Structure 1
């Protein structure tokens, strides 16, 4: 297995590769390096000093040879067979003049993939060229090797200062050449003041034309309408980071749980601004957002609105006192819509901004590069999931990673849908991942109040509409399940003006589409085109056909694009079949209309179109499937079951459409679909069949008569709640959602509450136990005995740290108004259990002190503040547990930074604390305070 490669020290690696491996002398080694970089530009790595280039080639060869031998081992070849049959051939292979430049490609600054197919061909054809190589085993994956090899080379470049400097120089020269080319016209300059006005024009108002523009008063300012979401950090992130360091997997998992559950869901602006104190830093890994982050969310969760708000926050901070406390608001924001970037096909993000794509403003590329090098900026990449071509998406991801490395002063934010997103590349590049949480009741009510205030002003009907919408959400579980999504809540607010809301999601989409189709009607009258005979039925049928055609394409429902030619053909054929005269002319004029106005369909650029929101694509596709089954009878139930559900349940991008289909079917057919899905073997797909079956079951309006299928479904979910067949981190993706679905589907069933409470006592995984606790608090917090049950669990002191974190967070927030809660928390700070003391202190610091001090001044502390101050002072000075002292001291620094006893105690801990680590930490805090 080329074991000698693993025993060579780094300083001797270059020499050893050539002398021991390739058996080359000094001159031959230099010739090898020249051949290796034969295809590379001379101003890049190829221009490096001989010893630097030689070492880089050596590292690349080591990586390549080890990747090949590892792949051979994966094909179940013995080490002896690899050594005797393949090692000599591999040495000859990497000496081949045709192979060397292919491997050298990876050092090009813009390389997104090496030619793995060519490597496979060269190996296979070696015999024809007089080199009888042994055949590679069936299934040998050259493409995987090529991808992994490219990553290794990029790491070599990053970790070699000379190479990194050369590539950065080459980048500067590219920018200069490109800017000179672009500036043959007049340079766009770098006018920040005018850019501010452009941002206000582009993003100042909610883009309600995608939902409704029939009412002119719906010109709602995004700045005033923005409801700050809460987010939770991805559980797998910290352990993935730790797995690269010198800790065991079990230690990484335990750290992961503590880090994840140490903090509750947090407001997104606090996370992005990294203003929240870190009460849980136990390994040097911060729980803040860091300078690189990914915001994940469901469709309509508000990802794009968040980025637009951040841009406007900077605009407001330049003209008012609104955001002077925000670090992010002081940073120049650059917002790049990745869908537009992919269509533009420019060479870099800087060129994209130079050309003025996206926001209608241009920045001179050279000046922008200089600004990024010297000043803090907020660079936001919106909609990674909207780049549908996988190779293009991967290339753009690599572009973002390189951009972040090139401009370390820039804070980088990326948004993406959850479905279809792969976190590995960005995780390895140091990006932290946060998921937007659904709106809670308070946030929903705040949204409704604000919406109608801004949209209707003093309209006397406003209060009635506000009350009707809130009551509809409160009284209907179906509507309540939809209202936690900002896009759907906006639709509800608009529809609520015209009618009472439908209680079904599909009906809600239908009503929303009618609003859009009505606007289409209104706009037709402005055209010199007799379209009045095209009714709502015809329009809906056209949209169904378009959606159905799009899902049948190469990208299916993952894509939301259709070419102008294909769209014209669908509309023309439909109009002709319906007996309309001049069908092609009418089709062309309909499409021309879409170029200027957004209705359900909109112009995506580059002669392509799509639905204004993927929600409508999924909805109309589902309607067409049901129409073919129920009305046209061109789809039998067996075909619906086997071809529609059977062929697509493995694909998450289809799940929303399949759920909608289930919601529209007769209960008999829906229950049969659920049963069919449960019978599939979905272990290799992380049991997507069971989870889809559960979601389809939830769509059935009357489930009371389905006791048999309900029992069967619960049995499957119960097994998944305790599933331990995968790696522990992967089990998290099985256990947690299974518990969550059980709670939501049977939240009115006291038997299932008893099951969940028992599950907390016997669960094998802490993550699923924690989820059960959260679900009990969510759905049964108004049950009288639940609070006592939670407190009893704490008193038992038999559960892990993460369970305590979860319970304390729930009690502190859900029963905050209970007069006994604060007393109980303060009592817990005196517990004999050090973890209980630590968690209680943390909860008091995170929630109670923060909220109470916000309501009082620093000089006039109320009684509660004084109680907490004394508690933190006593714990920081006398608690026997290091982390309890650290937590209390951090609380003092955060909430009582000017109190004289805080500084006095900090100095005492810096000198006298029995723990060396805490003494050092206190000394660092003193140093920071002296520098402020």
Structure 2
């Protein structure tokens, strides 16, 4: 190799890159089928690159520069590479260049387009035409030396992601040692791009294994195409599709003879003398033998493997690649010849996104916005439904999804995807490969696709009736064969003996060829994707319901408590008529009146799965109905149930991260989004409830010396439903800037980011708050919010990247969270978080990054390596402790981790308590790994056990209800709520509840009845009259406040409601008055009289609470008129309450920091404020709103220089502000640490 020539050619490439605007390696990687390491190596000048690389590099530079195809001068670049190499391909005779060029042209024509016709639904007018392979191909990754074991995809993913599987989830025959081999394979062999492996592997022979649909043949074709496009300067590609060798007519002579026969038949091979002469002369070639598994005779397959290995030995200048399915692959021949074995991996999220982007850009033509919409819809379906996400990793199934995604609304129509995917896979079967008897071959010939699907549904039913049920997803071999044989006997009249033989062949075919069943070993089979089992089970039940063999509601009554059945029941709801689906929703919503006390049988499922299962399943079933507009009553009942759950979270002080709260966001929010488009009245119902009631709900958290608040996820739950509602958006924008409860701002932030993704106004607002808010936690959250609302590209990417380098640790912390959670699928996310964990200058940011790594990348060896480096060498003992703690939790089975942690035990800088704990943890660590720690048994809530019987007795008459409520005071609330859920149709129940609310002396019971009747019977006049009676009566202030909010929520269209609120602004109780003022200002912001009234309360009322409520109402109305601005300025300087002066300064800073008058006012307050608190608040505001102003920093340093004695409060505030926003001054940082230590002491 002429090294000088290589350097000169690399210099030319570097010059082209510079002329093209010097795109980064990251940008080049986006437009090239090569990894960054390969790009860097080829630009280093150590060796000459291939033509495939040069062409891709020139095209990528052209894309960066915006040049046309003609301006790329590819022919000149090819000639330059030819001259640099100074060689010509070895030729056995004078005709070789002509023969080679003709052959390569035929290859380019044959493999230039993807073969997709067989995947499209029959009769689809939009069946894909000729799609260029290079436009949609996304190179998958591979791992070396895969363990020989099959498991369902869901179990593999759980094992790799979490490192733990429960014993009950394992099929028979799978033990801890097997699982450990899988886990070690994933962690010990990092995934690499397949094309890099083929190019870089030092051995000249390798085997690519993969499941059906994993992309083996596509990789082979793409590689062949790229080499053929390189022309006579590239490596000669030879692709042999071995399924031809399985045909006896082709099975004469050697593989080289077969290649010659292919040349004679279709021009896709080369004459043997030409190819053999070229290889003997040392010509470079890549010989790809695709589909070794297509040779079904095991003896013949071994002979072919021997011959392939022999070719590799005879022609060392040829790289030999073999592809095969995993099932049936025997590696002994290739191991003997030192072939390296790799396993194709499922596509990860970035690769899926790249494929969908390319696919829909081609499908949508000149409509890029439509392409992005289709791509984002399918990606959202993957995020929402685990089964869709699991299937999407398989390229074949992802392509089917992409085809159907143009006309189907995923995930709601995912059953169509499952049906089509199973049909496509079943259509490929040919059990005759496994039969020796010609009679048996003829006997299965009549099984068409519908027969095969019917058979699969029968297998699914047998599996659901097995002891493990749907949760197990496994069936013993003899049971499976018996079921198939029974189908053949009953449906096709085969006699028992022949039915058994054909059943064995069909079972083998499904497992080895169709990617439907897996063999787990020990005579056990199961569906390879759980989604297939769930779909087929649902389809079978739907068939039996149609024929009258199954009672639909009985199926739901029996199965809904079991989490393993949830997805099946949801799919089933979409397969029946809308009227039947409506009955299902009605049944489920009332199936468990005591849902809020937990499940009847906590042994079903995990604790995290408990909480309103019947309601969540009902919502998902409703979302599955195609014509949801035909079910207005069920839609209304579903929204009422959602509001009731949000009220429950606040009333019962349920932790905001609880299963109930999470399922509202994950399940209820998508359902509301969909039905809102069909039912405008439902939108206004939820919006009015949120504005008048939902945003006021609080969950107090009380400690010995603090009180804090959480909130139910009311804004997030309604974000999609109210995406286009201007009033809702205005209030959310106000709350994210001016909200006074951090948890409320977080909920609103999530609602804005997820409900209005990509909205420029939202993104600008979030960035503004992140840069100027005085509260560090708010700034951190807003950075993450930007990543929630935007794709990892363009201005959003650049801004979050800038936050990583900002002086403010809260912004850096937020950026780490952005990459670690919102953008974790991006290929640069993990390296970015690793760098932050290792190199950030602030220990708190490093610790935060450590936590992100431990949560999101437990399966990635790069994360483990970073944590080991931190535990070994971080300068801060507390950070080393964090890293060691995470390592012991997730990486304890890796020998290098155990060795490192043993050194940590002996580190004197680590506190003794942690070393002691670590020593105890290490005692039990073995390399066998955590397979399945049994979960502790949970018992039902005692009230649940007691009240099940009480509720049954209480549902009859008023007298029985009164006895039930009087029996045990601690049960009253539960009984009232259960009656409203289970027996809302009883005409006597609502009047009885209203009377009970008016007469009971239990204020909490009254309040519960108020929100219960408001959410259960929102349109009934009885509940409205009850609210008015409570407001007029002698009830506690908090009870009257609840009645006021609920009345306003249901009566914004009633002129009498604002009039009543006006009267209540004159009430004696400040709580009642302040709430009435805020409801008026928020609920009727366009009424000038109401706005003037609210402003007058803000200016002149004698109660601080009332003035603050009025100020919030004015700010949330998002009417930054001059009067409101002037009011804030007066309050900041002259209000009698120091808290109001602080609030006014903070709100001015967040809302009007661009106004020069605001800066002048805040500076004056910092210098001349009435009290030390006033001056300290102004200092904090200056550091937030005007951090980029050099004069501000100089002023704060001046306050520090004046000394503590001159103004202690301001001095401390200035030190804190400088240390937080400009933390590079070590003297200031030291003073801040001293202050913090003194205050802690």
Using the size of structure 1 for normalisation, the TM-score is: 0.45
Larger radius of gyration: 2
Using the size of structure 2 for normalisation, the TM-score is: 0.35
